Amino acid sequence: MKIPYIKTDFEAMEQAAGFPPFTRGYHEYKFVPNIIPNTKTIITDFELSSIQPDAIFELFQDLENQITLKSTFYLHLNVACNFQLIIFTRVLRTLLSIFSIHKKNNSKIAKFHFIIKNEDTKNILTNHQYLQMSQVDTLLTNSECLFILNNTPKMHLPVDALYGSYELDRETKTIFSNVWGKISSHFNL
Amino acid sequence: MDSILFKHFPPIDVKQWKQKIQFLLQGENYQNLIHIDSDGISTLPFYTKSELSKKIAFKNKSTPKPAFYCIVSKESKANSEALTAIKNGIQIIYFAIFNPNIDLEILLKNIDCDLFFQCYFLDYKFNSTPILKEKRSVILNECLGKISKTGNWHHTAKTDYSILKKSLHISQNSLNINLNHFHNSGATPVQQLSYSISQLLAYAKNKTINFNTTIYYNISVSTNFYIEIAKLKALRILHQLFADTLDINPNCKLIQHKSKRNLSGLFSAINIANYNTEQHISILSSVDFYLSIPPNFFFYKEDIPTTKTLVNDLKESNADYSIIEENLCVEKLTQQLVEKSIILIETIEKGGGYVEQLKKETIQHKISDNEKAAVSSFTKSIETVDLNTQVNIKKTTSAYPFLKFKKRKALWPPIVEKQLRETVERPIWEQHFKF
Residue B386 sits at the chain A interface (C-beta within 8 Å): no
Residue type, B36: I
Q: Which of A39-48, B80-89, B379-388 has the lowest mean pLDDT?
A: B379-388
Model confidence pLDDT, tens digit, residues A90-123? 888 888 888 887 887 655 678 888 999 999 999 9
- Tell me, letter by letter, the H, E, C secondary structure of chain B: CHHHHHHHCCCCCHHHHHHHHHHHHCCCCHHHHCEECCCCCEECCCCCHHHCCEEECCCCCCCCEEEEEEEECCHHHHHHHHHHHHHCCCCEEEEEECCCCCCHHHHCCCCCCEEEEEECCCCHHHHCCHHHHHCCEEEEECCHHHHHHHCCCCCCHHHHHHHHHHHCCCCCEEEEEEHHHHHHHCCCHHHHHHHHHHHHHHHHHCCCCCCCCCEEEEECCCCCHHHHHHHHHHHHHHHHHHHHHHCCCCCEEEEECCCCCCCCCCCHHHHHHHHHHHHHHHHHCCCCEEECCCHHHCCEHHHCCCHHHHHHHHHHCCCCHHHCCCCHHHHHHHHHHHHHHHHHHHHHHHCCCHHHHHHCCHHHHHHHHHHHHHHHHHHHHCCCCCHHHHCCCCCCECCCCCCCCCCCCCCCCCCCCCCCCHHHHHHHHHHHCCC
Q: Which B residues, 28 through 87, put their C-beta within 8 Å of a C-beta on chain A?
A: 33, 35, 37, 43-49, 52-58
Cβ distance of A163 and B327 shorter than 8 Å: yes
Model confidence pLDDT, tens digit, residues B146-162? 999 999 999 999 999 99
Helix (H) or strand (E) holding A146: helix A143-150
Query: CA-CA distances (angstroms) from residue B163 to B147, B167, B215?
Result: 15, 6, 16
The predicted pLDDT at position B308 comes to: 87
Q: Which B residues, 107 through 136, put their C-beta within 8 Å of a C-beta on chain A?
A: none
Cβ distance of B273 and A153 shorter than 8 Å: no
Cβ distance of A167 and B328 shorter than 8 Å: no
The predicted pLDDT at position A101 comes to: 79
pLDDT tier at B193, thresholds 50, 70, 90: very high
**B92, pLDDT greater than 90:** yes
Residue pair B197/B242 in contact (Cβ under 8 Å)? The answer is yes
Mean pLDDT, residues B371-379 taken together: 93
Residue A27's nearest CA partner among A102, A113, A85, A125 is A113
ipTM of the complex: 0.89
> Which residue from B minimizes the CA distance to A94?
B5
Mean pLDDT, residues B382-386 taken together: 67
Share the mean pLDDT of chain B. Answer: 90
Model confidence pLDDT, tens digit, residues B118-146? 999 999 999 999 999 888 999 999 999 99
Cβ distance of A165 and B327 shorter than 8 Å: yes
Residue type, B357: Q
CATH number belonging to domain B65-338: 3.20.20.240
Mean pLDDT, residues B378-393 taken together: 78
Residue B122's nearest CA partner among B87, B164, B151 is B164
The predicted pLDDT at position A21 comes to: 46
The predicted pLDDT at position B10 comes to: 58
CA B165 from chain center: how many Å? 25
Higher pLDDT, A185 or B111: B111
Residues of A with Cβ-Cβ distance to B2 under 8 angstroms: 18
The predicted pLDDT at position A72 comes to: 87
DSSP string covering A163-180, please?
TT-HHHHHHHHHHHHHHH
Higher pLDDT, B363 or A49: B363
Residue A153 sits at the chain B interface (C-beta within 8 Å): yes
Residue A46's nearest CA partner among A60, A35, A36 is A60
The predicted pLDDT at position A24 comes to: 42
**A20, pLDDT greater than 50:** no
Q: Which of B275-289, B335-349, B363-377 has the lowest mean pLDDT?
A: B275-289
CB atoms within 10 A of CB B136: 12
Q: Which of A11-15, A134-138, A172-176 has the lowest mean pLDDT?
A: A11-15
Share the mean pLDDT of chain A. Answer: 81
Model confidence pLDDT, tens digit, residues B272-314? 999 999 999 988 898 999 999 998 899 888 888 888 888 888 8
Give the residue extent of every domain in chain B: 2-51, 65-338
β-strands B35-36, B42-43 pairing: antiparallel
**B234, pLDDT greater than 80:** yes
Residue pair B186/B371 in contact (Cβ under 8 Å)? The answer is yes
The predicted pLDDT at position A27 comes to: 43
Mean pLDDT, residues B415-428 taken together: 92
Q: Could you tell me the pTM of the whole model?
A: 0.93
The HSE-up count of residue B279 (CA atoms within 13 Å, CB side) is 23
pLDDT tier at B361, thresholds 50, 70, 90: very high
Q: Of A22-26, A48-52, B249-253, B395-399, which has the strongest mean pLDDT?
A: B249-253
The Cα A74–Cα A59 span in angstroms is 12
**A18, pLDDT greater than 50:** no
Range A83-118 burial, b when 16+ CB lie within 10 A, else e: bbbbbbbbbbbbbbbbbbbebeeeeebbbbbbbbbb
Higher pLDDT, B318 or B60: B60
Q: Of A20-24, B56-60, B370-374, B402-406, which has the strongest mean pLDDT?
A: B370-374
Q: Of A56-65, A83-92, B37-46, B365-374, which has the strongest mean pLDDT?
A: B365-374
**B397, pLDDT greater than 70:** yes
- Closest chain A C-alpha to B414 CA, distance in angstroms: 27
Residue B194 sits at the chain A interface (C-beta within 8 Å): no
Residue pair B337/B41 in contact (Cβ under 8 Å)? The answer is yes
Residue B9 sits at the chain A interface (C-beta within 8 Å): yes
Model confidence pLDDT, tens digit, residues B206-222? 999 988 899 999 999 99
- Closest chain B C-alpha to A95 CA, distance in angstroms: 10
Residues of B with Cβ-Cβ distance to A8 under 8 angstroms: 49, 52-55
Q: Could you give the percent of chain B with pLDDT greater than 90?
A: 63
CB atoms within 10 A of CB A138: 19
Q: Which of A6-15, A140-149, B174-183 has the lowest mean pLDDT?
A: A6-15
Give the residue extent of every domain in chain A: 23-187
